Amino acid sequence: MLHTPSPPFAGQYDLAVIGAGVVGCAVARRFALAGAKVVVIEKGADILSGASKANSAILHTGFDAPPGSLELELVKAGRAEYLAIRESLGLPLVETGALVCAWNAAEADKLDAIAAQGRANGIEELRLLSGAEARATMPGLAERLVAAIEVAGEHIIDPWTAPLAYLTQAVALGAHLLRDAELIEGRFDGDWTLTTSTGTLRAAAVVNAAGLYGDVVDARLGFEPDFEIRPRKGQFVVLDKAAFAHLPRIVLPVPTEITKGVVVCPTAFGNVLIGPTAEEQEDRTRATVETGALEALLARGAEIVPALAGIPVTAVYAGLRPATESKAYRVIARADRRAITLGGIRSTGLSAALGLAGHALRLHEGFGLPATAPATPPTLCLPNLTETRERDWQRPDHGEIVCHCELVTRREIEATFDSPVPPGDFGGLRRRTRAGMGRCQGFYCNARLAEMTKGRLKEPLAVGEREE
Amino acid sequence: MNAPFESTSADVIVVGGGPAGVAAAMELRRRGIARVLLLDREPELGGATRHCAHSPFGMREFSRVYLGAAYGRRLAAEATRAGVELRTGYSVVRLESGGRLEVASPAGVGTLSARRILIATGARETPRSARLIPGDRPLGIVTTGTLQSYVAFHGLMPFRRPLIVGSELVSQSALFTCLTHGARPVAMIEPGPHALARAPFAWFPRLMGVPFHVGADITDIRGAARVEEVTIRLADGSPRTLACDGVLLTGRFTPESALFRQSTLGVDPGSAGPAIDQDGRSQDPLVFAGGNLLRAVETGGWAFREGRAVGRALAEDLARGSEANAPTPVDFETPIKLVVPSLLRAGANAAPAFPDFQLRMARAASGRLSLEIDGREVWARAGTWWPERRILVPIPPGATRAGSVRFRFREGQ
Ligand SMILES: Cc1cc2nc3c(=O)[nH]c(=O)nc-3n(C[C@H](O)[C@H](O)[C@H](O)COP(=O)(O)OP(=O)(O)OC[C@H]3O[C@@H](n4cnc5c(N)ncnc54)[C@H](O)[C@@H]3O)c2cc1C
Ligand SMILES: Cc1cc2nc3c(=O)[nH]c(=O)nc-3n(C[C@H](O)[C@H](O)[C@H](O)COP(=O)(O)OP(=O)(O)OC[C@H]3O[C@@H](n4cnc5c(N)ncnc54)[C@H](O)[C@@H]3O)c2cc1C
């Protein structure tokens, strides 16, 4: 079956969510659980086409969030809900903990204030450590470490399966996902008429979760935009799995005003990543990598954990943060138009998504719409892709191993195309299965994947048949 | 069909059914080793040669010229005839100590053990990511190995108008594959100052009507879903933007040494393959290695002969009992990139599997290359040395008992 957008629904939706990033997926789930008939409008060929496909995958505690902010409240709420539901969705949690590392006296001087802020933010599991104490918990750290704060609750998750699980639950409750559907215009006449690139639909309320296009979508809905997106690029390098043994914990730098800084971080898949950079740019679509920046990241990683020097690079990527002119989340509810904007979810959206969704539902309750009957959460278990649990290749009758580096089986690839939210493009297939994500980046499996996915992705891997 | 796991252990398990692994397994059988098990994760034997629907394989070993896939079938037939037990679809996922391997198969996961293990998992090309190439990351950026499997196994093409990067021997075969299967490369570039392959290479692409630029680098790749254009910087610093629908990365082979990298044995920083001694024995005396895994990359025929030699040394080792003497590392100076073997062990094998040190340079260099054993110069030669070309230096008799072995390089002498 060639990937086509789902047919439009004839009736009126209770809620239209614009954007299937992690925030939009979480919102769709929350409203579907509340009994609403939900539609998700996504302009990409697959979900997670924007900021959400390329982050650091840290489930933050909020220890360094601005005190008293909405961001802090929603990061904590989102994290708590993730921890509460993750078992029932089969989602992983790698309990790494983090060290905020001071590499010189000036940085060390800032640690007390950071710890005090963390405690004021309600994060009790903080410990100030000397350089030697910190190195005892992670011997790979460079000897010049001066001091550190241990934040036991900072953890690693699978950044792609989590939003997929949220949306899959929503779809199981009857939500519709429209892909390749860009919101062009919205008109409010007591209800919303939304014009997309693939058709028009009606909804009682809208949530703008358009990430990097939050301001644009607000304008298209007829609002005077309250903020302006200023994309901030973050580049990363991912190191071979051989690096994982040297990095049991997340290593955070002492943050500056502008950025949380370069993190050295294990991934749930058994790699190590170094990044992100923080680069302001105008362009909202291009997230390029640059040789010089990648080299600098590699050098930085080896400075922090010397054993990383010489470990080969598996992947490189870049993401754009939906930053605005202000640090704060730009959450706006317009009761008279039944619209909620979840904008400027800059650098903590993975952690806060479920919290943002709960917040949006509360704002929506103020719109005076008739109540719907809450639904029972459907149980589902998404395939595990992390090294911390059993993988499909470890079970018999998986057919064959298609991707050797990441040990992805034929059964897993076939199952994802039969799932409620099948991949729409190759990136989506990679994020759902890890096929082609390993150290060879497709040397061994790309051609086989081209054949297996023929006719199933919007943009095929092969351009056609060979000619003699 | 593959048999499921059996509890009995083999004498030798060979991992990798390319030319090196098959040659080693046959040699072991020929020397009377009873139970030799050959594992490969692919459905067929032949390794990297299977993709190559063009080149002359098998002249030396079978006195006949085969195309890649047929060569793989010949290897399978010969191995079966020699009494090697073949298991395809078996993927070794972990190399453990004590001659044990964790293996995944369609029937599930299990541990296999043997008196000795021989690893010959070959090499692959460096992908775009590890080359830190800038730009967007759309479809259409592949290596020669990938292109050849599109063509050879699936009758597909990943692009029609690629930019080709590289000038090794394999780059020539990449260009040839494009031209013979309906793709028209827009240009070929080599980041280094010279073509890496020997002389005729420089004019081959131009003869085919494909512009060839040395000293040129990619500065940007643009494309939403698929590559749309690539900007290169030419040797004189001027930029040029080429409309194209793919990037074909050729060469820059690297050993497929994940099993070693993820074990306690690690890899040699120069070769990126396992450190081995003159018999192909690794730091773990129960584990041997051979073929392109040692030092990417050589030809199929070379891998076959090397596999056979390591198989012979391993058979002698089995007959005599393991050689567990502490090895002496082989040191070297820049711009030498690698030396194989990088260990020497005092041993009783009459003739070592590797009669020569194999050296490569990281860059082109003129100067005097010399070998010192226990501080005494035993070999020297002056000249101009090219990157990625094999340099052979005989391992002097007695070197295996030396306390220090060192290659030196004096630039400009
Ligand atoms: C480098 C980096 C590192 C990060 N690290 C972390 C971390 O470790 N932990 C953490 O919690 N957070 C992290 N984040 C933040 C997190 O990734 C973001 O906050 C989050 O992804 C924002 O999600 P979103 O759903 O708001 O936006 P997006 O993911 O951008 O989703 C918006 C969606 O809307 C779609 N869309 C846009 N316009 C339209 C339209 N007109 N019609 C239809 N659809 C439209 C887009 O295609 C997109 O899919 C990081 C972010 C970056 C960039
Ligand atoms: C694109 C390309 C073009 C080439 N062109 C030529 C040419 O024109 N002429 C020429 O002489 N040579 C050519 N070669 C080189 C030639 O193919 C190699 O020299 C030869 O195949 C190397 O043999 P090998 O046995 O060392 O490794 P390989 O042939 O690479 O075999 C390694 C085997 O190990 C298996 N394996 C790897 N890891 C595992 C694991 N964990 N568990 C189980 N099995 C595993 C693989 O499936 C593979 O079958 C080319 C190579 C490539 C990639």
Strands A330-334, A339-343: pairing is antiparallel
Closest CA to A13 of A222, A201, A209: A201
Q: Give yes or no for residue A237 having a pLDDT over 70.
A: yes
Average pLDDT (B313-319) is 95
Confidence of residue B361 (pLDDT cuts 50, 70, 90): very high
Longest dimension (CA), chain A: 70
Mean pLDDT across chain B? 91
Top-confidence residue, B59 or A238 = A238
Mean pLDDT across chain A? 95
For A119-244, strand residue ranges (E) read 126-130, 147-151, 155-156, 176-178, 183-188, 192-196, 199-208, 232-239
Strands A232-239, A279-280: pairing is antiparallel
A137 CA: distance to closest CA in chain B (Å): 21
Contact B341, B276 (CB under 8 A): yes
Q: What is the pLDDT of residues A102-161, one digit of tens each?
A: 999 999 999 999 999 999 999 999 999 999 999 999 999 999 999 999 999 999 999 999
Average pLDDT (A410-417) is 96
pLDDT of residue B50: 83
Using only the alpha carbons of chain A, give its radius of gyration: 22
Confidence of residue B2 (pLDDT cuts 50, 70, 90): very low
pLDDT of residue B162: 98
Q: What is the pLDDT of residues B139-183, one digit of tens each?
A: 999 999 999 999 989 999 999 999 999 998 889 889 999 999 999
Q: Give yes or no for residue B92 having a pLDDT over 80.
A: yes
Closest Cα to atom 9 of ligand 1: A58
Contact A344, A330 (CB under 8 A): yes
Q: Do A426 and B139 touch (CB under 8 A)?
A: yes
pLDDT of residue B1: 35
Strands A126-130, A155-156: pairing is unpaired
Average pLDDT (B67-96) is 90
Closest Cα to atom 30 of ligand 2: B122
The pTM of this model reads 0.95
Structure tokens at B69: 């896939």
Atom of ligand 2 nearest to the CA of B68: 17
Ramachandran angles phi, psi of A287, nearest 5°: -115, 80
Q: Do B106 and A404 touch (CB under 8 A)?
A: no
Q: Give yes or no for residue A5 having a pLDDT over 50.
A: no
Q: Give yes or no for residue B6 having a pLDDT over 60.
A: no
pLDDT of residue B193: 87
pLDDT of residue B160: 98
Q: Give yes or no for residue B55 having a pLDDT over 60.
A: no
Give the C-alpha distances (Å, rounded to integers) separating B104 from B41, B107, B265: 9, 8, 21
Q: Give yes or no for residue A91 having a pLDDT over 90.
A: yes
Q: Give yes or no for residue A372 having a pLDDT over 90.
A: no
* Interface with chain B: mutation pick from A179, A271, A289, A395, highest number of B CBs within 10 Å: A289
Helix (H, G, I), strand (E, B) or coil at B183: coil
pLDDT of residue A4: 41
Atom of ligand 1 nearest to the CA of A318: 1
Query: B398 at the A interface (CB within 8 A)?
Result: no
Closest CA to A397 of A414, A384, A382, A380: A414
pLDDT of residue A167: 98
- Which of A29, A56, A238 is the pocket-test mutation for ligand 1 (most atoms within 8 Å of CB)? A56
Contact A46, A23 (CB under 8 A): no
Query: B268 at the A interface (CB within 8 A)?
Result: no
Closest CA to A403 of A367, A434, A379: A434
ipTM of this complex prediction, to 2 decimal places: 0.95
pLDDT of residue B59: 57
Q: What is the pLDDT of residues A175-217, one digit of tens each?
A: 999 999 999 999 999 999 999 999 999 999 999 999 999 999 9
Q: What is the pLDDT of residues A348-370, one digit of tens each?
A: 999 999 999 999 999 999 999 98
